[in-house]
Structures are given as structure tokens and as C-alpha cells.
Amino acid sequence: MSWDFQQIKQTLREDAAAVASPRELEDFRIKYLGRKGLIQEIYASLADAPKDQKPIIGKEANDLKKMATALVEERKQGIGSQPGKAQRQLDPTLPGVAPRVGHKHLLTQTIEEICDIFEGLGFSIQEGPEVETEFNNFTALNIPEDHPSRDGFDTFYTNVKDRTSKDANLLLRSHTSPGQIRIMQEHTPPLAVVIPGKVYRPDAVDASHSFMFHQIEGLLVDKDVKFSHLKGLLHAFCKKLFGPDIKMRFRPHFFPFTEPSAEVDISWKGGKKEWLEIMGCGMVHPKVFEYAGYPKGKYTGLAFGLGVERMTMLKYGIPDIRLFYENDLRFLEQF
Ligand code: PHE
């Protein structure tokens, strides 16, 4: 068998130039350098070649091998930056690919909407830490030592010691109310703040419970704040959030940190049930002022706490709290 080495080299270069993808590069390598490739075939032909041809064929085969190896390396670098045949034919008249633009999660939207309303009513927005002391989460809120909400079934305790207390561990706040204590320790009245954030409770997860959810706390302290202010404020808020036809009622309730305390129910035309509970509220308990370090009898205040998931479910008719956390785009994209 005689070989036209000129022709082979020419084809080798052309083949190498046409390589446009890693796959094509591999085909090229196999064609020339593979075990059954052309160069091996040339080496194999040495056995039957006339004696005087052997050194020539051997040298040419060696050259080809070097060339092919070098070309494989070269093209390997080139594929990334140098467009192959298919990519070279860019058609600038084709429509572009629009980037997918995301948007805020529905819960974030609700939190912002609620905070905006209160900002419009003169409140400022503050945040507190999710890891809290027992003192801020319970004691300073006048929650007695033996209150069931303090036990491990109702609150997540960490194994980290609280350096500010003798034998307490830090915990995951079970409500945003410890934010009230932090604000009062740092500011003197008059003050009006809302505190949005995550809270944690070891509840079994079902359609209406989650071990983590969001609350928004409100606190207003001044001289001569009255329950009527609380009613007026929450009424104005609900009208802004749910529309002017909303009906509201204050139902007496108990919280250790407010006195008197109430739960707020709302009802609206087209709503399924007659009354739906949306938040807890009340007048700041004098004991709480005491723990916060305020002078006795000088101030009065109102406080409220609402569940963001619950509000959002009511507002949009969402049947299951788990939908908020599954991040299924079919759900999220509706809002
Ligand atoms: N912290 C209470 C809860 O989680 C809500 C609340 C806040 C009630 C402020 C009254 C005043 O249920």
C-alpha cells in the first residue's frame, strides 16, 4: 500500500479546522489517533512495505502523529472561544431570548404592604434578632416562670448558654414581642414602631401550622395612649389592607404582656366564615414598662401582633400554609 502523505496532511488540517464541538473533536481524534485510526493503519502497513520505503513511511507516520496530537490540543482550546460552523452563522434578525425576571415572594409583598401602611400612619420599621434571650422572649413580657409556652414543647431552645443570665439558654423567638422590649430598652417615648420578622414554634406541620412563620409586631408608647387609639389605629389599618367594607370586632382575650387584651376578628362580604381572627392586641402591661426600665406610671402604650401567613391566606384565599414554603413556581407566579 502506498500513501499520499501530502493529501493526508491536507485532509488532516481541514478536518481539524472543521471541528466545532467536543464531540466532533473526539471523532477527529479517533479518526487519526485511535487504535483503529489512520495513523495506526500506516504503522501497520510498514510490515509489508518495500525495504527502502520503510524509513520514509515511518518518518511520515511519526510526523502525522505529532501533527494530529498538536491539532487536537489546539482545537481543544479553540472550541470554547472560536465558533464552529453552526455557531458562525449568527442570524442577527432572530428575536432575542428574554431573561426570566423573578419577583418578590408573596409573603415579602404582604410584609411590605403592611409595613407601608403603618409607615403611612407614622410608625417606623425595626427588626430584632431571631435568636433571643428567655428574658426578652418571656420574663420581660410578664410571662410567668411556669407558663406552658416556656416549655420545650412550645419553644425551640438552643444549647447555647445565655451570657446575660445564670442558667438560661438562648432560644428561637416564639413571637416578635421581644422586639418590644429591645425597642423600649433603647428608646424613650414617644415611640411608634412595627417589627416584622420570623418566629419559631415546634408545631407539627399541617395546612395551618408551620414550625416557622412570620409576625408583625406593633408598639406605640406615649403619655395618655388609650384603648380607643388602639381601636382606631387597627380599624384604619384593616380598611387600608382589606378595603373599606371590612367589618371588625374586638373580642376580650388574655395576654400576660397587655392589659386589657383583645383579639381582633374581621368579616367581609363574600368571606366564607362570619368572623376570622387576625391578630392579638392590647394596652402594654405596667409590668412590661417596669422590665423595660421606664418610670412607673409615666407612660401608656398599645401593642399588637399579627401573623403574616394567616393575613395573606385570608386576603388571597390560600388554603394551605405549606404553599408559602414549597417554592413551587406555579404557585408563586400567580402573585
Ligand atoms: N405575641 C402575641 C402572639 O404571638 C401577639 C400579641 C402581640 C398580642 C402584642 C398582644 C400584643 O400571639
Contact residues for 156 (Cβ-Cβ < 8 A; gap 6+):
171, 172, 174, 200, 201, 202, 211
Shared-domain flag, residues 156 and 60: no
Shared-domain flag, residues 180 and 305: yes
End-to-end CA distance of the chain: 75
Q: How far is the CA of 279 from the centre of ligand 1 (A)?
A: 7
Q: How far is the CA of 28 from the centre of ligand 1 (A)?
A: 72
Shared-domain flag, residues 59 and 158: no
Shared-domain flag, residues 67 and 114: no
Q: How far is the CA of 295 from the centre of ligand 1 (A)?
A: 23
Helices H / strands E in the chain, number of each: 13, 10
Rounded CA gap, 298 and 316, in Å? 42
| Ligand 1 pocket check for 218: Cβ under 6 Å | no
Shared-domain flag, residues 292 and 191: yes
* Residue 98 domain flag: no
All cell numbers assigned to 318:
390560600
- Mark which of 88, 120, 139 sits at the end of a domain: 88
How much is the pLDDT for 82? 53
How much is the pLDDT for 1? 65
The protein residue with its alpha carbon nearest to ligand 1, atom 2, reads: 305
The tens place of each residue's pLDDT in the chain, 335 residues long, gives 689 999 999 999 999 989 988 889 999 999 999 999 999 999 999 999 899 989 999 999 999 999 999 999 988 887 765 555 555 678 888 888 889 889 999 999 999 999 999 999 999 999 999 999 999 999 999 999 999 999 999 999 999 999 998 889 999 999 999 999 999 999 999 999 999 999 999 999 999 999 999 999 999 999 999 999 999 999 999 999 999 989 999 999 999 999 999 999 998 766 666 888 999 999 999 999 999 999 999 999 999 999 999 999 988 999 999 999 999 999 999 99
| Ligand 1 pocket check for 280: Cβ under 6 Å | yes
* Residue 280 domain flag: yes
Domain range spanning residue 69? 5-88
Rounded CA gap, 270 and 274, in Å? 10
| Ligand 1 pocket check for 281: Cβ under 6 Å | yes
Q: How far is the CA of 304 from the centre of ligand 1 (A)?
A: 6
All cell numbers assigned to 308:
403574616
Amino acid at 258: T
Instruction: Evaluate whether 173 touches 132 at the Cβ level (below 8 Å).
Output: yes
Q: How far is the CA of 194 from the centre of ligand 1 (A)?
A: 13
- Mark which of 88, 115, 134 sits at the end of a domain: 88
| Ligand 1 pocket check for 28: Cβ under 6 Å | no
As for how many domains the chain has, the answer is 2
All cell numbers assigned to 74:
489546539
Shared-domain flag, residues 40 and 160: no
Shared-domain flag, residues 119 and 265: yes
How much is the pLDDT for 272? 64
Rounded CA gap, 320 and 326, in Å? 11
